[in-house]
Amino acid sequence: MVIVMSSHATEADVTVITQHVESLGLQAHPIIGVERIVIGVIGDERLIQKDQLSLLPHVETVIPILKPYKLASREFKPNDSVIDVAGVRVGGKEIVTIAGPCSVETEEQLLATATAVKQAGAKLLRGGAYKPRTSPYAFQGLGEDGLKLLMKAKEQTGLGIVTEVMETADVELVAEYADLLQVGARNMQNTRLLRSLGKVKKPILLKRNFSATLNEFLMSAEYILSAGNNNVILCERGIRTFVEYTRNTLDLNVIPAVKQLSHLPIIVDPSHGTGRHDFVLPLSRAAIAAGADGLIIEVHPDPAKAFSDGEQSLTLEAFQSLMNEVSVISKAMGRQ
Ligand code: PEP
Ligand code: MN
């Protein structure tokens, strides 16, 4: 449930309420808004009497949250969340583009890509150092050496780093390098990983699993939020359907659905969503038109030689022209 404090309630009044809630064995998550303070109450609500809570000082109303996800729901937080990633705000007026190679391969490859995507207007650099590959014989990523190369690219370009963390044991290390830690589609329901990311002081990019319902997707976000990390960005990256002409089917329906049900920002990955470099531009346009807060796009200086996902990677030139094209759509949508 959500406790809405009266407009003149102070932070000290809020502390009284949170202590009361915690003494009942429940968790309290205060959110300090511009106009009001609300407190999300999470746990077994049978332990608490709604009517009793309404009588506490400076409590205006107590509203039950009917959705199974609480902290991720718009019922809990009506205003859009804007997530700060190394000074880049995701979920506000600006459409944020994250770009870079699928895998970090060499210093030369990464720096060439980073410089070009920055010049084209990307705000964050992506690159996988730990790669979840279908085949155990395929390139698995450079590991910590890859993270070091990402750091070098950050020093040279100023771009914040987005990179995947695959297991709980790696969280601390990856969090030292990354500005935004990516949970890949395959790990969306790795609940121990999600919980450990709740303890990290960096924002999380949560990719939707290719067979996850919207409810499951938001419940995974709830794992991170309820473990203490409020900074979650959702990412639609395509789901499995019967179509065989694309790698996945990009579920753009999920964008307005997330906007209705949740306050969290959502970005779109048209690279994995289509698996085809020639479809990345049209689906980027569509994603922004549907209300996405940003894009994450695979770019490689020589896609034919990429260690992974070359067929869906844009050349540096194609990425530049994509940025020009999508800026037109962004403006038409009243965004920047
Ligand atoms: C990736 O971003 O390179 C990746 C592996 O994505 P996903 O987890 O969506 O397949
Ligand atoms: Mn990839």
Ligand 1 pocket member 128 (CB < 6 A): yes
59 and 173 together in one domain: no
Which pLDDT belongs to residue 157? Answer: 98
Instruction: State the CATH number of the domain containing residue 9.
Output: 3.30.70.1140
Q: How open is the CA angle 327-333-336, to the nearest 5 degrees?
A: 45
- Best residue for ligand 1 mutational test, from 104, 126, 237 (most atoms within 8 Å of Cβ): 237
213 and 146 together in one domain: yes
- Per-residue pLDDT band for 54 (boundaries 50, 70, 90) equals confident
In the reported structure, the alpha carbon of residue 99 is separated from the centroid of ligand 2 by a whole-number distance in angstroms of: 11
Shortest-distance Cα residue to atom 4 of ligand 1 = 184
Taking the CA of 299 as reference, the closest ligand is 2
For residue 43, pLDDT beyond 90: no
Residue 68, in any domain of the structure: no
109 and 214 together in one domain: yes
- Per-residue pLDDT band for 51 (boundaries 50, 70, 90) equals confident
Residue 73, in any domain of the structure: no
51 and 114 together in one domain: no
Query: What whole-number distance in Å separates Cα of residue 98 and Cα of residue 90?
Result: 11
Count CA atoms within 13 Å of residue 91 on its CB side: 22
52 and 105 together in one domain: no
In the reported structure, the alpha carbon of residue 256 is separated from the centroid of ligand 2 by a whole-number distance in angstroms of: 25
Strand segments, DSSP code E, in the chain are 2-5, 27-32, 37-42, 59-63, 83-85, 88-90, 96-100, 124-126, 160-164, 180-183, 204-207, 232-236, 266-268, 294-298
In the reported structure, the alpha carbon of residue 2 is separated from the centroid of ligand 1 by a whole-number distance in angstroms of: 35
Give mean pLDDT, residues 19-48.
86
Give mean pLDDT, residues 67-92.
95
For residue 50, pLDDT beyond 80: no
Helix (H, G, I), strand (E, B) or coil at 62: strand
38 and 144 together in one domain: no
Ligand 1 pocket member 247 (CB < 6 A): no
- Per-residue pLDDT band for 65 (boundaries 50, 70, 90) equals confident
> For 151, phi and psi rounded to 5 degrees?
-65, -40
Which pLDDT belongs to residue 31? Answer: 87
pLDDT in tens, 295-310: 999 999 999 999 999 9
39 and 110 together in one domain: no
Shortest-distance Cα residue to atom 8 of ligand 1 = 184
In the reported structure, the alpha carbon of residue 330 is separated from the centroid of ligand 1 by a whole-number distance in angstroms of: 25
In the reported structure, the alpha carbon of residue 119 is separated from the centroid of ligand 1 by a whole-number distance in angstroms of: 24
pLDDT in tens, 159-178: 999 999 999 999 999 999 99
Ligand 1 pocket member 33 (CB < 6 A): no
- Per-residue pLDDT band for 106 (boundaries 50, 70, 90) equals very high
pLDDT in tens, 272-326: 999 999 999 999 999 999 999 999 999 999 999 999 999 999 999 999 999 999 9
21 and 129 together in one domain: no
Shortest-distance Cα residue to atom 3 of ligand 1 = 102
In the reported structure, the alpha carbon of residue 133 is separated from the centroid of ligand 2 by a whole-number distance in angstroms of: 9
Instruction: State the CATH number of the domain containing residue 144.
Output: 3.20.20.70
In the reported structure, the alpha carbon of residue 267 is separated from the centroid of ligand 1 by a whole-number distance in angstroms of: 13
Ligand 1 pocket member 272 (CB < 6 A): yes
Shortest-distance Cα residue to atom 9 of ligand 1 = 185
87 and 175 together in one domain: yes
Domains in the chain, number: 2
124 and 18 together in one domain: no
Point out the least confidently predicted range of 13-27, 42-56, 181-195, 318-332: 42-56
Residue 271, in any domain of the structure: yes
| Parent domain of 20 | 2-63
In the reported structure, the alpha carbon of residue 304 is separated from the centroid of ligand 2 by a whole-number distance in angstroms of: 14
57 and 88 together in one domain: no
224 and 113 together in one domain: yes
For residue 47, pLDDT beyond 80: no
Tokens of 166: 């695959």
Residue 291, in any domain of the structure: yes
Residue 219, in any domain of the structure: yes
How far lies 17's CA from each of 43, 73, 299, in Å? 15, 21, 50
Instruction: Kindly report the average pLDDT of the chain as a whole number.
Output: 96
Give mean pLDDT, residues 124-129.
98
Which pLDDT belongs to residue 52? Answer: 81
- Best residue for ligand 1 mutational test, from 98, 102, 280 (most atoms within 8 Å of Cβ): 102
